[in-house]
Structure 1
């Protein structure tokens, strides 16, 4: 425990919470502090696993009284590991995961600790969906409040575009509700501003009818990668909004659909997802089939299943970043392919290029996310197991960013990056948006209690 935590105060927190409280030395403490990124090994002073909105309020008040730093954990997928902090109070929301689907109003209400897979599976019987993360173990709360990029974004917008209402506990331990009419400035700030303004205990999201979903994942040997990537680019630039997808360099995974002789070898993959039948998708993607893929997975697929196909195992070491691009000309293709061929050996690193546009670009003027006008995003996603590979893996990610600089915009989707400096945060909102966000921050968290994130510093004047 930290120096400010008295035994009586801790006993009071234990009595007040319907959930569980862990401190160093308790059975279950080490399990409770583990997050997705294996590089993060931090020891909070107190972990409060909250089971209700009242628990969240009580935990925050306890942390402030004890003068502890306060971190908030939803899914635990932040690459920077900001949801666990040495010597801090962690407000852990994972026990709060109720999902309520209203198929008539086309809405879903989720508690703050809900995982993406829990929401997707609850919506599936109604053939309804909203834009979700591409990994089922992502937390819905942090994903949505950070913007929320996923396979359905070109058709239905970002996850935050589908945010209808939220309930937060502020730094003062008070409940506040926000929607387009009630506390509208806070509502605006939650469309990309992240967890800067309070702890989100529930979110209400718009749902969409999704009767069909299909995918075409093709793996190629990397010898002809520039032609493959250019073909994908040309298809993507003319794709209707129902299509999503990207290109990926990666070591071929040990999956049943991958021939044994390819497992572990570098491949260049393309993926198109489509909110429609597989026959139409195959016809659209025909120019890629003509390039002789060595693996083809082309099928109708339930959305919830698609969402978990790229799940990566927890506990690996992770370092990611991203750049959003004004375009993807042939020179950029060549740079992308050259860096893909240089993925560090011995890692499970993925070199990802996402197609954007469609509904993503539509909300750029309305919300504080200027990066969404970019048609492409490059997302170097380094994962590995051996700590001896830390330096080459991290350097490779930085090299990808340097390669993309001639076409990069200043702004970036912050959920894709770790700690990259205050200016990176300011640029990602734009200076005018950042000033407006800082004013909202000053209203709801003037002391910057919720600062262990991509932080927005409250206006002091």
Structure 2
């Protein structure tokens, strides 16, 4: 696109239009994953919904690729694209809480740290991931696994409504009572159906939690994993905890001798009666010898952002994810084999529980179909040196292949990478045909294709 055309876009919006000639272009085009080096034609930092409508119409009429960026955490870097128009919500991060109704409305650029800060002032929260810098909108549209999902369901299960700009430039509200088919598709179908400009959530009484971060020497990982599997199966839904494989992080409660060494970790929180907190974590402290631990009361937002410092913008990243109907001995053995080879301190292998409230939503009630799985393992490799890329990518792929015999057909789209695009139909299983039909209704030209793309029927 030439400079005159970019001027035409500037005349239609209040937000900032950044092009390759601008001094802040390189910072504007960067997403969280340092592996992604795309050069969009323009980045529009929107200021209001009117800018989004203008941008959608502009991209469609000029046959431009269109990328949507909320938090920018997409592993494949879907928040940008070569020669595309990027709609960037970095300047729209407001969250308005209705404490009486126990709801909150979030702008599309808010992160979970923004959201939790706003709702915690009223002793409220909803399910929202593990890392605070993750975008609210992207996580929700792909499902939304987090500490609170056993008790309160996925992020998308707590979505009450969403404002959306569709491919024809129309502004719609999707909810149980308006544009119900679109609302169904947004809850797990990703960014395929339009540009979501705000999201309304159901909140729950979550204030101080009894948090636990318990780190074990790797030699006890099999004992810990099997204990975790059995204990969680009977634990109240107020206990949200995941099993992990890391290198020992440089935290004060872990002796320096364990820093950078392969370890097994259990992380989570108890949201029930605070007086029960110590007793709820004691079985984990007794399960195997502990290298270091931190167990005690903590504000929910503090736990939800506890690992943010380990994942600064610009780290190189490559991800895979799956679903498990059970944490079988075979799956545990695969984790033991590859978990001992975690390549960097920033790499995270997490096994998230998705039972309880997640299972009380039907397979076809929302677009997210994986309601019979009990766990979702994610392999999120992060590193600094580009010279390590080939080896680290190979480690992730080999790890995912070792888990495959014990995994469901579908994978979790929020943690899949570019080379997983061929799996989109199987990821949605029985819901794919309906999603393709709804895509054909709201985006027949597939304007919104820079994503885990559902082709319009």
1:74 Cα offset (Å): 0.6
Q: Which residue of 1 aligns with 2:199?
A: 203
**1:372 and 2:371 matched:** yes
SS at match of 1:304: helix
Instruction: Tell me the alpha carbon deviations over residues 152-205 of structure 1, each in whole angstroms, 9 at most, x when there is no partner.
Output: 011110011111111111112111111101110111001101111100011111
User: Secondary structure of the equivalent of 2:198?
Assistant: strand
Q: Which portions of structure 1, spanning 4 or more consecutive aligned residues, are displaced by more than 6 angstroms?
A: none
Instruction: Work out the number of aligned pairs and report it.
Output: 453
1:428 aligns with 2:427: yes
Alignment of 1:97-136 (within 5 A): 97-136=93-132
3-state DSSP of counterpart to 1:372: coil
Q: Shift of the alpha carbon at 1:240?
A: 1.1
TM-score by length of 1: 0.95
Structure 1 position 278, deviation (Å)? 5.3
Tell me if 1:295 matches 2:253.
no
SS for the counterpart of 2:371 is helix
Deviation of 1:413 (Å) = 1.9
1:93-123 Cα deviation digits (max 9, x unpaired):
1111121100011110111111111111000
Structure 2: which 5+ residue stretches go unaligned?
none
Distance, in Å, in 1 between the alignment partners of 2:443 and 2:296 is 48
- Which position in structure 2 is the counterpart of 1:7? 3
Distance 1:435 1:356 in 2: 24
Alignment of 1:77-96 (within 5 A): 77-96=73-92
Cα 1:119/1:6, change in 2 over 3 Å: same
Q: Find the aligned partners of 2:93 and 2:161 in 1 and give their Cα distance.
A: 17
| 1:343 shift after superposition | 2.1
- Normalised to the residue count of structure 2, the TM-score between the two structures is 0.96
Aligned with residue 63 of structure 2, among 63, 67, 85: 67
- Structure 2: distance between partners of 1:423 and 1:65: 28
Deviations 1:233-286 (A, max 9, x none): 111111111111111111112222222222212211112321135552332333
Indicate the RMSD between aligned Cα atoms, in angstroms: 1.5
Note the 1:14-33 alignment, pairs <5 A.
14-33=10-29
CA distance in 2, matches of 1:330, 1:9: 59
For residues 208 and 408 of structure 2, the distance between their equivalents in structure 1, rounded to whole angstroms, comes to 34
Q: Which deviations, in whole Å up to 9, do the C-alpha atoms of 1:23-71 show, x marking residues without a partner?
A: 0020111111111101011110011111000001111222223221111
CA-CA distance at 1:406 after TM superposition: 2.2
Return the offset for 1:428: 1.2
Matched, 1:282 2:278: yes
Match of 2:305 among 294, 304, 308: 308
3-state DSSP class of the match of 1:126?
coil
**Aligned partner of residue 420 in structure 1, secondary structure:** helix
Aligned equivalent of 1:456: 454
**Quick one: distance in 1 between partners of 2:73 and 2:250?**
23
Partners of 1:329 and 1:300 in 2: how far apart?
32
Change (3 A) 1:299 1:144: same
Question: Paired residue for 2:136?
Answer: 140
Question: Is 1:160 matched up with 2:156?
Answer: yes
Instruction: Tell me the residue number matched to 1:410.
Output: 409
Render the CA deviation track for 1:389-420: whole Å, top value 9, x for unaligned.
11121111112212212221111221011123
The equivalent of 1:382 in structure 2 is: 381
